[in-house]
């Protein structure tokens, strides 16, 4: 629990610094103040990618070792990933309205593939809920956890494969197309979101371990809790 608290405290400190940097950076030339939502939108999307990658790694680990810890990691990371991808979708819609004139456009490749990924991982969580046996649950979910991760590169490269509303990435191997202050703010917020993800993953895995312990604990026989009546007057 101490590790979770330390990670959580560090996340709050870094996110506070990132928020200050985001608000003190200069406005963007075209989007003006609206661009500042990039400091939530981009980190949340990147952390969803990371979370689903960890889900795939945990799924592979389960199938190789059959150790429940890997399955707990996969499930916990998927839950957090769904939260982050939902945040990315919502902030993207808020950002899109003043910049593009619309909240949503199914013809945009990045929006459509991101929404598909969101629903697939909701299905992953639903599959886990629908399978009561822990071993069968881990087996079935691990297959989907491994297959579903192919969506991460699909979402990332969608802006290259189909030229629609979304622009290509601002940060590329050949350099960042951003003002240095804007870039610093976004990277600090990305670090804060990463620490937050690690804190949430640590806490959720601890809770999952306790849930597993309760699930696998021997159940008392109903009659053992009933005492024989005394016949003495």
Q: With 80 as the cut, is the pLDDT of residue 222 above it?
A: no
Asked which of 148-152, 216-220, 226-230 is least confident by mean pLDDT, the reply is 226-230
pLDDT at 12: 96
**pTM of the predicted protein model:** 0.87
CA distances from 58 to 122, 123, 146, 158 (A): 17, 17, 9, 26
Confidence grade of residue 32 (pLDDT, cut at 50, 70, 90): confident
Output the DSSP codes for 55-85: HHHHHHHHHHH--HHHHHHHHHHHHHHHHHH
Q: Mind listing the pLDDT tens digit for each residue in 118-168?
A: 999 999 999 999 999 999 999 999 999 999 999 999 999 988 888 887 777
The predicted model gives 20-30 an average pLDDT of 86
d(Cα 231, Cα 233) in Å, to the nearest integer? 6
Q: With 80 as the cut, is the pLDDT of residue 232 above it?
A: no
Burial 143-181 (b: 16+ CB within 10 A, else e): ebbbebbebbeebeebbeeeeeebeeeeeeeeeeebeee
For residues 163 and 61, the model is more confident at 61
pLDDT at 229: 57
Q: With 90 as the cut, is the pLDDT of residue 73 above it?
A: yes
The pLDDT > 90 percentage for the chain reads 63
pLDDT at 2: 86
The predicted model gives 106-121 an average pLDDT of 93
């Amino acid at each position: 629990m101490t590790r979770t608290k330390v990670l959580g405290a560090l996340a709050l400190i870094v996110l506070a610094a990132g928020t200050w940097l985001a608000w003190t950076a200069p406005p963007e030339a075209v989007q003006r103040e609206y661009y500042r939502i990039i400091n939530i939108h981009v980190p949340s999307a990147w952390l969803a990618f990371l979370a689903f990658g960890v889900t795939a790694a945990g799924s592979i680990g389960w199938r190789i070792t059959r150790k429940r810890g890997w399955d707990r990691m996969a499930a916990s990371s998927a839950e957090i990933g769904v939260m982050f991808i939902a945040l990315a979708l919502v902030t993207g819609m808020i950002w899109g309205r003043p910049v593009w004139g619309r909240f949503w456009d199914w013809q945009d490749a990045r929006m459509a593939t991101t929404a598909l990924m969101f629903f697939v991982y909701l299905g992953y969580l639903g599959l886990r809920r629908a399978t009561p046996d822990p071993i069968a649950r881990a087996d079935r979910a691990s297959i989907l956890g491994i297959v579903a991760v192919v969506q991460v590169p699909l979402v990332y490269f969608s802006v290259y494969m189909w030229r629609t509303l979304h622009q290509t990435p601002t940060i590329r191997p050949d350099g960042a197309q951003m003002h240095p202050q804007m870039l610093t703010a976004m990277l600090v917020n990305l670090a804060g979101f990463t620490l937050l993800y690690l804190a949430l993953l640590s806490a959720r895995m601890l809770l999952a371990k306790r849930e597993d312990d309760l699930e696998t604990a021997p159940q008392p026989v109903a009659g053992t809790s009933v005492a024989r009546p005394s016949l003495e007057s």
